[in-house]
Chain A
């Protein structure tokens, strides 16, 4: 099912009656989510991503704008009639019911032509349980399950009525690191097997990038960029998006353009022909640095962090806006670094360097 959002806006009235400070949680969101895709809504806390999800589910009413599922306008349809499945951050399993009863619960509420006979309900419950691999835990209560198992039960409960759209609110944030990796692959697999259009909310860029077909980066209620994970990483539209995606994060510097050259401090690091002279922010991805004796960009060397396959060289530069500069290079470079070396020179890989306007923070292409 295709999901279309048109100028979707959510305004929360101010709590304090005297001040008229409204909070615009979601501002003029227009987007089409193609059928059968796994989409990640990504942004820092309070950027309106959960509000967007709740509006799609119908639990919150849009202040203005429209929501379409396929061709139907569902803006004013109540949650139970939208046919969505929703998985909450804390799973929201009914603690007094067994796993089986939890999964059966949505089916028992179906009315009209969706209503199922009892044996079919149970069959259906076992089918989704097998899909998320919890069919051997059906008689347990939620508090007898691990976090990962509870998560699967929550997904099974959301899937059992075969919703037209599956919504996941921070589905992995309550799991430990190892389980998170495993579960996100699981979500990907389940989504592929069922083909249900799935939207999930996360503040973890790695999570979003690793499994999504498409990600939406939001900030303060405004959509910053929409696209495939790799495209957004390689081609961010503004400084915020560039900073938000990538680990280690992008290195940002004060720089200026003068006579077709990009300067960081005193060093002319790149040719940028055809861009007018002005002060800019320069963002360089950690993998954009190549240590080289003839490198144009001089930094003070702090230390080298070994990570196995790669090493991370930590250095400083007075123009840097981050406390330290982190570059990721192949471990072979370490051998070339002398014990008492105090400076390091890099040459830069042009397509890993982004220039942003100082005022608008928008990307300047070169």
Chain B
């Protein structure tokens, strides 16, 4: 640069000062970041902690005016009582049955429709898919009334005759999962399909041999999310399952209240909640990778 130029090279500065300044900034920002993270983690984890410690307190300790943060003595009998009085075995059985059956059926429907939307050409495909997507805009709770009317018209509310049908069928189709899997299928190059066609592969065989293995991570995510969904569902079963024999864990927990003198025995209830949460907790521990993938994909990015 010529000496006459009005532009000047940046001023010299004390690099030692700069380094110290950078260090302080880093420490301060890290401090606030971790403070924030700890606060959030505390807010989320505290209820779980409360559930666990309450489940091992005696009723007397639980009813103290100033609650204790750590049980004075451990009363594991709550767990045994919860298991027996709440009929947890039955509830577990029901929930697992409903969860497994609806997950399997749901997967079949999701895979087939995602394949159709991603690969096949048929009239009205785009309009149909747009209509399906539009239903995602409506909050699920709004469907409850129409669904209730529909299942009532079908007579499915008669649980003795139709069994778990009413708990399974209304939620088999998930537009969101179809969308998720369709996007995944569409990333598979079309040439694979054409190559398979030339080699005489049927659509179904191609789906089974090529697309499903390639989309397996997404399918696993969907399976886990669907399973968790069935495990956690509360409102619908509460509405339609009026016979104890068909209760799922969530309603079972809500409806059973062990009474000593007509007051809820909260430690026993908490023990029951802890038992029910345990399987999901295990699922999360072991399959965290896939759950994260499914959840992060379900974010804003399409």
Give chain A's interface residues, CB within 8 Å of chain B.
57-59, 79-81, 84-86, 88-90, 92, 94-96, 105-106, 109-111, 157, 161
A92–B197 touching, CB < 8 Å: no
Closest to A110 in B: B200
| B residues 198-226 touching A (CB-CB < 8 Å) | 198-201, 205, 209-210, 213-214
B197–A59 touching, CB < 8 Å: yes
Residues of A within 8 A of B201 (CB): 80, 105, 109
Residues of A within 8 A of B205 (CB): 109
Given A95-B214, A96-B213, A96-B214, residue A90 in contact with residue B198 (CB < 8 A): no
Give chain B's interface residues, CB within 8 Å of chain A.
189, 191-192, 194-201, 205, 209-210, 213-214
A106–B191 touching, CB < 8 Å: no
A80–B213 touching, CB < 8 Å: no
Residues of B within 8 A of A106 (CB): 199-200
Contact of A80 among B192, B200, B209 (CB under 8 A): B200
Given A80-B199, A106-B200, A111-B200, residue A59 in contact with residue B214 (CB < 8 A): no
Least CB distance from A91 to B in Å reads 8
Contact of A90 among B191, B210, B214 (CB under 8 A): B191
Least CB distance from B187 to A in Å reads 11
21 A-B contacts (beta carbon < 8 Å): A58-B198, A59-B198, A79-B197, A79-B198, A80-B197, A80-B199, A80-B201, A81-B200, A88-B191, A90-B189, A92-B192, A92-B195, A96-B210, A96-B213, A105-B199, A105-B201, A109-B200, A109-B205, A111-B200, A157-B195, A161-B199
Least CB distance from B199 to A in Å reads 4
**Besides the contacts A80-B197, A84-B198, A111-B200, what 15 more A-B pairs have beta carbons closer than 8 Å?**
A58-B198, A59-B194, A79-B200, A86-B198, A88-B191, A88-B195, A89-B191, A92-B192, A96-B210, A105-B209, A106-B199, A106-B200, A109-B201, A110-B200, A157-B199
A94→B214 CA distance, assembly (Å): 9
Residues of A within 8 A of B213 (CB): 96
Residues of A within 8 A of B192 (CB): 92, 94
Closest to A161 in B: B199
B200–A94 touching, CB < 8 Å: no
A84→B198 CA distance, assembly (Å): 7
A95→B197 CA distance, assembly (Å): 17
A111→B189 CA distance, assembly (Å): 26
A92→B195 CA distance, assembly (Å): 7
B194–A109 touching, CB < 8 Å: no
Residues of A within 8 A of B191 (CB): 88-90, 92
A173→B281 CA distance, assembly (Å): 51
Residues of A within 8 A of B196 (CB): 105
B198–A80 touching, CB < 8 Å: yes
A157→B201 CA distance, assembly (Å): 14
Residues of A within 8 A of B195 (CB): 86, 88, 92, 157
Residues of B within 8 A of A105 (CB): 196, 199, 201, 209
Residues of A within 8 A of B200 (CB): 79-81, 106, 109-111
Least CB distance from A13 to B in Å reads 13
Least CB distance from A84 to B in Å reads 6
